[in-house]
Every structure is written in structure tokens, then in C-alpha cells.
Homo-oligomer: A and B are copies of this chain.
Amino acid sequence: MTAVADTPQHRRALRSTAKVLPEHARASNRSMVLQLLFHAGPRSRAELARATGLTRVTISDLVSSLLAQGLVTELGQQADGKVGKPGTLVGLDAEAFQIVAVDLADDERVHGAVLDLSGAVQERRTAAVGGCTGAAAVEVLLGLCRELVAATTRPVLGVGVGSPGVIDLSGRVLQAPNRGWYDLPLAEQLSAALELPVHVANDADTAALGEFTWGGASGNGLLVLTVGGGVGAGIVLDGALVQGNEHAAGELGHVTALDERDEHDQAPLGRPQPCACGRRGCLETVLSVPAMRRRIAGLDPAATDAALASVGRRLGIVLAPVVSALNLSEVVLCGPEELLGGPLRDAALATLRERTIPVVSSHVQLRMTSLGEHGALSGAAVLVLSGQLGVT
């Protein structure tokens, strides 16, 4: 229809650009105010104005619209002993709305929760997958969502879903072998059925978002490694998830981590094992929970520690190039504390530091998640916060 040819040059030229209207400026400034109230706590209008660089007039206008929507509330006078008129504190009303979050990482049960805007869990529900795949699996998910929405006691801001698989920005599942989903517009379908905004992302990505927002991330550049039945990663740079060319960023589980001839460790991991992907020696074959449990089964404590440390060293070797290339400030491990938290972590960090230049190694952290097993759920909630309010 259009006379303009849709050439690759066009798409390239406009890939990361879109028209900007004054109303987008408004939305952006609104997000900035919410972001500030979210992270830094209640503030007076005048303080918001100083912190954002906007004028008091504009902030007043923004705040009044936020008050009208019920997102923020006035919390009374500022009782400092300072000169001048005391300001009126304005704070985010964490209980004004609720978020429905669902985690599909577990193959057996779908885990869901209702959270408030501060990430506090209000309700928790699960549903059995029962081996369902394809459309039936969508039905199970939809059922849990309906149940959770029914359990909310406030208006629902939106629904966030973290799922294994490759998922694009619009919430379309390009492929999720575990569920038998291929090219499925999951967010669109759920949104139509629930009549709510729905955001879907890879579960490692949601875990990374959760860690970024609530895990007390320090610097810039975060990689979250989820260790379960498989191994996945989510990367947050400059406050945004890295998507990758095919939306497959974070596929660290299937990087070769063990070679045929290079194992001379003190607690040898043995020959590279075959992997579900059809190759051998993938990181998943040594770092996944089942693989580690098999390896340490029946070992005495010292041998267990040595075996886990050996796994940690392989992890450190794989992480070193990534951490160097991106100059990450933090690597976070999500998974069973008893496997990951001890010698594995220590060995991985030591190896990572040995193998990177000081300007990188001296700043990088490697730690367990501070969100426990709720990481994926709260991350799915951040998906909604980010999508609906611009807050991360």
C-alpha cells in the first residue's frame, strides 16, 4: 500500500528510533517521578522538582494527576527544623494496586502470586501442570491467572509471566520446548482473555529484573544465572534487559565448559557428558541441579566440596570473557543455596578474578541471590511495574 519500499535499510535506519510526541515526554517525566518515589521513598514536591530538574509547577501538575489516579498519596507535613514553609510529603501508595505474577520455570507446578507495588507477596497459588503442553498448558496458566486475579483485593495493575524459552519483546513465545510452544503470542492471548495488561519474558530475564530492582544491585551491569533443571542467564545493562539478535541472549547453559582433553583439575569432572542439545560438555552438563546432585551423590563432605569447587572453576572460566567484555559489576546466582552458595561460588569468584584484568576483577561481585526462591516471581512483577509505570 505504501509507496515507500520496506527495505532492510529502512528497518535498520528506524530500528532503535520511533517518533516522539510531547505526550511521551509527559509519560517519561511521570515515570521519572514514580521511579524516584519508588526507590528513594516519599518526597515533597519541591524536592522532586530539584531531583528531576523539572520545575515545581510541572511537578505539581504531575503529582496531582498521580494523586487523581491513586498511585500516590499525601503523607502530611515534613517536620524538619529547616527554615521556610515545610513541604507536603508525597509517597507512592504501594497498596493502591496489585500485581499478578506467574513463574513457569518449574516443569511440575506453575507458581503464582499476588503482590503489591512494593513487591510484597499478598497471596500465593500454584497449579499442577500435569504434563500439559501446547494449548492445554496455556489453559492451565490462564486458569491460575484467573484464580489470582479473583484473589486480588485492589485494582490490578497487570499480569507478569516469566517462562523458559525464547520470548520476544511483545511477549510472543518464539520457542519453549518444555511447554511445546512455538511462535505463540502468549501475552496477547492472556491479555485478551483476562482483559488486563500482560507482560511475558524469559524466566532468567525476569529473575535478572527482580534482582536489579529489589536485590540491591550496586553498579551498572548485572548478570543473573538461574540454575535449575537447566542453566539460563539474564543480563541487565543500563537498566534494560539485553535481548540479543534472535531474542536468545543469555543462552549460557549450552556454552561448552568442559573439553575432551583439558581436564586436569584436582577433582576431575571426568569426560564431557552428552547434553540434551546434542553436543557434549555444555555448562549445563556440569552446573545444572540434577547434574550436580548426581555428581556429589554418596560423596563425603570434603569430596563434595571439592567437586562443587571444580564445577565453580568451570563456571568462572565461562564467565570471565562475559564479565570482561561487558565490564559487569555483579554476577548473581539463583538456585539451591546448598549447591551454589559455598565452595562453588568461592571457586567461581576466585577463578573469575584470576582470569580477568584488575580493572574488571577488582570491582566484580559474585553472590547468591538475595531474593531466595521468589526471585522469578518478583521479577515478573517488575515486568509489570516497568511496563505499566516505567519503574524498575
Checking B10, B39, B248, B259 against A360 with a beta-carbon cut-off of 8 angstroms, the contacting residue is B248
Complex interface bits, A13-51 against B, C-beta within 8 A gives 1, otherwise 0: 111111111101100110110011011110100110011
Give Cα A282–Cα B360 distance, bound, in whole angstroms: 14
Q: Are A35 and B13 touching (Cβ within 8 A)? A: yes
A332-347 vs B, Cβ < 8 Å mask (1 yes, 0 no)? 0000000000000000
Contacting pair A325 B221 (CB below 8 A): no
A50 contact set on B, CB distance < 8 A:
2-4
Asked whether A25 and B21 contact (CB < 8 A) given A245-B327, A246-B363, A247-B327, the answer is yes
Chain B residues whose C-beta falls within 8 Å of the C-beta of A36 in the assembled complex: 10, 13-14
Separation of A156 and B207 alpha carbons in the complex (Å) = 48
CB of A88, distance to nearest CB on chain B (Å): 14
User: Which residues of B lie under 8 Å from residue A28 when comparing CB positions?
Assistant: 17, 20
**Residues 308-363 (chain A) with a chain B CB within 8 angstroms:** 318-322, 324-329, 354-360, 363
- With both beta carbons as reference points, the residue of chain B lying nearest to A253 in the complex is identified as B357
Is A53 interfacial (CB-CB < 8 Å)? Answer: yes
Structural contact, A221 and B245, CB atoms closer than 8 A: yes
Instruction: Output the least CB separation between A248 and chain B (Å).
Output: 4
Complexed CA–CA distance, A13 and B82 (Å)? 25
Chain A, range 72-109, C-beta contacts under 8 Å to B: 82
Q: Which residues from B are CB-within-8-Å of A264?
A: 261-262
Q: Are A19 and B244 in contact (CB under 8 A)?
A: no
Within 8 Å CB of A20, what residues of B? 24-25, 28-29
**Closest B residue, CB atoms, query A10:** B40
Q: Which residue of B lies closest to A234 (CB)?
A: B325
Interchain CB contact under 8 A, B246 and A7: no
Q: Does A377 contact B (CB under 8 A)?
A: no
Chain B residue numbers with a CB within 8 Å of A35 are: 13-14, 17
Q: Mark A117-143, 1 if CB is under 8 A from B, else 0.
A: 000000000000000000000000000
Contact partners of A31 in chain B: CB under 8 A: 17
Which of B39, B240, B244 contacts A221, CB < 8 Å?
Answer: B244
Q: Which of B9, B18, B248, B356 contacts A254 (CB 8 A)?
A: B356
A84 to chain B, nearest CB (A): 9
Interface residue ranges of A208-245 to B (CB < 8 Å): 219-221, 223, 233, 235, 237-240, 242-245
Interchain residue pairs with CB less than 8 A apart (18): A2-B50, A4-B51, A14-B36, A17-B32, A18-B32, A20-B28, A24-B25, A166-B359, A221-B244, A244-B327, A247-B327, A249-B325, A249-B326, A251-B360, A255-B356, A261-B262, A262-B262, A318-B321
What are the 7 closest A-B residue pairs judged by CB atoms, nearest first? A244-B327, A262-B262, A254-B357, A13-B39, A245-B329, A256-B355, A20-B25
